[in-house]
Amino acid sequence: MKYRQWNCSESNPGARAAMERAGVPPLAALTLCARGLDTLEKAQDFLAADWGLLEDPFLMLDMDRAVKRLQSALETGETVAVYGDYDVDGITATCLLTDFLRGEGGRVVPYIPDRMEEGYGLNREAVRLLKDQGVSLIVTVDCGITAVEEARWAGELGVDVVITDHHECKAALPQAAAVVDPHRSGCPYPFKALAGVGVALKLALAMGGAPRSGELLERYADLAAIGTVADVMSITGENRFLVRLGLETLRRTQRPGLRALLHEIGMDEKPMSSVSIGFTLAPRINASGRMGCAALAAELLLTADPARGEELARRLCELNRERQVIEAGIYEQCQALVQAIPAGERSALVLAGEGWHQGVVGIVASRLAEKYSCPTFMICLQGGRGKGSCRSFGGFNLFAALESCAGLLEGFGGHELAAGFTILEENIPAFAQRMNECVRQRTGGAEMISTLELDGEIDDAALLSLENVEGLELLEPYGAGNPKPVFCLSGCAVSAVSEVGGGRHLKLKLSAGGRSLDAIFFSATLAETEVAQGARIDVAFTPQVNEYRGWRSVQLQICDLRPALTRAQAEEALYEKFRRGEALTRREAAALLPSREEFVTLWRYLKGHAMPGPLEETVPRLARSISRACGRRETVMRTMVCLEVFDERGLICLRRTTDHLQIDLNPVEGKVDLEASDIMRRLRRLCE
């Protein structure tokens, strides 16, 4: 199992049925209701992806000042530098604003710092270099909000700075001609989840004016979608519109380099989705920045030469393969380092190493955070200094944690879920101790566990028809805030299983409810899962349509699997969950709730067998005896609930040993109201 715990949402069957009657496909209705969008109105509001979602760019603080300064630069022929970041968001933002300003007649120099030599954000050397090239105005995209000293330095050199960013702000803002960031304190812009490329797009829209908004969105929505998805921004509200529009324009993009890259990776003839951007397209663009060649990706997006675009597309794919090899090597080293850390000191992983490639440690941090269920900090050491990349787990706020350690750091920036920092090597032990304390404080000392959120259980495999799975397209585009649906199917029989992809993945044939289902489990092996033909398993999966040689069929993309429980094991697990006071679904509560007939039958049995002395019995035997007495199957768990209620209301004295029960009847006068039991009230409340 990849996840220690599966949390299955429960939707209101009545709400689901109403949505289906209104025309919402069954699996889509199940997902929407599980996510609290249980009326047609709520669902329509969430799924909206139209022009009405666009907010006025001038609602952002300083947008008017940014527009005024840039228009002045265009009018007077100043040389403007668009200064970006080396990730996909930064590269697309740089290219978007560069292309727009050039189209307005501007003299524009795109600049993306070298990841290894310069690091993240605005730096003095780059400002000096740009000044020497005649630049008098620098516009940052996807960076700059923490560049207080660098902006001051630029001002001393006579270079104006306009900041556009989307990262969290510190208390002090840079002194600049304009600071545009929706996260600024007091900024009234209502949608805070724009990517850096989204903020850059809003600046272009503000400069172009309302009459040109349609033209500009058609031209730049492809770049906005790529950067937004790659930066894992929430695909809700305004972003949902931008990504959906971007997916449409990406199919017909006029950028020769981007067309060449789509062809090189086989995406030009396949359906375009946010998932294909995130897992296929974005990694190739990102590879250039990770390998210290971000300018290549920028050139690919800006070139007008198809032949050069094809050459650059091939190079980006080569760089991505190189990145994968380097990443695998560092990951193996880190697993050995983790094993050397005492288990009690793994609330957060802080790992440091010489010679690690700065461009890939962020990906390794993500993999380790998922594997070990804790926030992970990777530090590349060189000459007594370290550059760190960190990834969150379980919603841990990295930015706030880094702020609390500011005295140990030379600098930091980023988001709640992903951030970067610099640190002296001598401060790393204290930093590791502090981060472990931060995590323990947040969790109250409890262990963080890997949890898979399920949108619901499929109790009838017939729901997984091609038509119903195609109906899930209603929920696209997926991403943060709107993840791909994940369902559970219990008690599947494994008809066949084999390793594919050079032994890196598993292909399974499953049988459930009389239906045969194809499934694929990526990055899993037979040795890891111990799945064998004939086994019975529960699978957590995303259903998808697989197309091969024109034939379309349903395939389950497995997220996790586990051995299926027997009926007795499932009942015992549910009862223990109830005893521990854990949250129950409506269906689970209904399964535990005894009927009046069950109470009566058990009471009569006890009166006949627990007098004069105590009755000693195992729960399964007692349940079987009650079943014979009432003529139908009595579950172990409901028998135990009946006994707990009798005990709570004073009718019996119940004692439990390792595998036996001891039951004494108490003398009672008059009638006892079993519905007044706290246990019954709790179960009734959950059932309602």
**CATH classification at residue 184:** 3.90.1640.30
What tokens does 494 get?
Answer: 């494994």
- Does residue 36 form part of some domain? no
- Segments forming the whole domain that contains residue 358: 341-451
Summary mean pLDDT of the chain: 91
Question: Is there a single domain that holds both residue 443 and residue 572?
Answer: no
- Does residue 293 form part of some domain? no
Q: Region 144-168: what's the mean pLDDT?
A: 94
pLDDT of 168 strictly over 90: no
Query: Which tens digit of pLDDT belongs to each residue from 367-418?
Result: 999 889 999 999 999 899 999 999 999 889 999 999 999 999 998 887 788 8
pLDDT for 416: 85
- Does residue 489 form part of some domain? no
pLDDT for 634: 64
**CATH classification at residue 397:** 3.10.310.30
Question: Nearest CA to 291 among 230, 227, 357?
Answer: 357
Query: Which tens digit of pLDDT belongs to each residue from 527-566?
Result: 889 999 999 999 999 999 988 777 889 999 999 999 998 7
What is the Cα–Cα distance from 686 to 56, expressed in whole angstroms?
A: 45
Look at residues 199, 220, 241 and tell me which one is the last residue of a structural domain: 220
Percent of the chain with pLDDT over 90: 68
What is the Cα–Cα distance from 252 to 585, expressed in whole angstroms?
A: 46
Query: Which tens digit of pLDDT belongs to each residue from 76-100?
Result: 999 999 999 989 999 999 999 999 9
- Does residue 159 form part of some domain? yes
Query: Is the Cβ–Cβ distance between 137 and 240 less than 8 Å?
Result: no
pLDDT band at 272 (very low <50, low <70, confident <90, very high): confident
What is the Cα–Cα distance from 205 to 35, expressed in whole angstroms?
A: 33
Q: Which residue has the higher pLDDT, 119 or 614?
A: 614
DSSP SS3 for 261:
helix
pLDDT for 620: 82
- Does residue 314 form part of some domain? no
pLDDT band at 125 (very low <50, low <70, confident <90, very high): very high
DSSP SS3 for 266:
coil
Q: Which residue has the higher pLDDT, 585 or 397?
A: 397
Query: Is the Cβ–Cβ distance between 77 and 105 less than 8 Å?
Result: no
Question: Is there a single domain that holds both residue 213 and residue 353?
Answer: no
Q: Region 276-280: what's the mean pLDDT?
A: 92
pLDDT of 633 strictly over 70: no
- Does residue 662 form part of some domain? yes
Look at residues 193, 220, 247 and tell me which one is the last residue of a structural domain: 220
**CATH classification at residue 573:** 1.10.10.10
- Does residue 459 form part of some domain? no
The total of structural domains in the chain comes to 3
Q: Region 643-671: what's the mean pLDDT?
A: 88
Question: Is there a single domain that holds both residue 445 and residue 573?
Answer: no
pLDDT of 610 strictly over 80: no
Question: Is there a single domain that holds both residue 447 and residue 573?
Answer: no
What is the Cα–Cα distance from 81 to 74, expressed in whole angstroms?
A: 12
DSSP SS3 for 393:
coil
Look at residues 220, 254, 275 and tell me which one is the last residue of a structural domain: 220
Give pTM, 2 decimals: 0.81
Q: Which residue has the higher pLDDT, 364 or 342?
A: 364
- Does residue 203 form part of some domain? yes
Question: Is there a single domain that holds both residue 579 and residue 446?
Answer: no
Question: Nearest CA to 162 among 174, 170, 172, 171?
Answer: 174
Question: Is there a single domain that holds both residue 205 and residue 67?
Answer: yes
What is the Cα–Cα distance from 592 to 643, expressed in whole angstroms?
A: 12
pLDDT for 630: 67
Question: Is there a single domain that holds both residue 201 and residue 350?
Answer: no
